[in-house]
Amino acid sequence: MNIGEVAQQSGLPAKTIRYYEDIGLISPQRSENGYRAFRERDLHKLAFIGRARALGFTIEDCRTLLALYQNDHRESGQVKALAEQHLVAIDDKIAQLRSMRATLSHLVHCCAGDHRPDCPILDDLAGSDLHRGDA
């Protein structure tokens, strides 16, 4: 298989596949013409990576997960630990975004959004304490 077909089947852009080879995630063979010659195993690996990436794992996590996957003597505890760690990181991000969202949403609702220049959003960013001290 050439890279184009692998790209289609894995859903990953050809550029990304080449990048994954660059950083040593995959090592496809080469044809005599210099083209990458992918086998089923490579495709399978790429699909694996694609799914891990879709779950938000970093490339380094993917490297680790691939190694565990290919290691018959792995312990599922290692995988679970990695996944739980990632879960915590996701929760942290969600919490941070929700905090931002709450503040921003409040400000948006306070802003008339008309043709006048008065704007509680800018007031808040400027630290004017006008609405924060309105109690």
Residues 56-75 that bind DNA (CB under 7 A): 58-60
Name the residue with tokens 């609405």.
131
Nearest CA to 1 out of 17, 19, 20 is that of 17
User: CA–CA separation, 129 vs 123, rounded Å?
Assistant: 8
**Residue 54 makes contact with DNA by CB under 7 A:** no
Q: Using CA of residue 112, residue 114, residue 119, residue 121, what is the dihedral sign?
A: positive
Helices and strands in the chain, H and E counts: 6, 2
Answer for which of 23, 27, 126, 132 binds a copy of itself (CB under 8 A) is 126
**Residue 122 makes contact with a copy of itself by CB under 8 A:** yes
User: CA–CA separation, 29 vs 13, rounded Å?
Assistant: 19
Residues linked to residue 30 through DSSP beta bridges, in sequence order? 36
Closest approach of DNA to the CB of residue 49, in Å? 8
- Nearer Cβ to a copy of itself (31/126): 126
Chain residues that interact with DNA, rule: CB under 7 A: 2-5, 7, 13-16, 18-19, 31-36, 53, 58-60
Chain residues that interact with a copy of itself, rule: CB under 8 A: 44, 47-48, 51-52, 54-56, 65, 68-69, 71-77, 79-81, 83-84, 86-87, 90-91, 93-94, 97-98, 100-101, 103-105, 107-108, 111-119, 121-122, 124-127
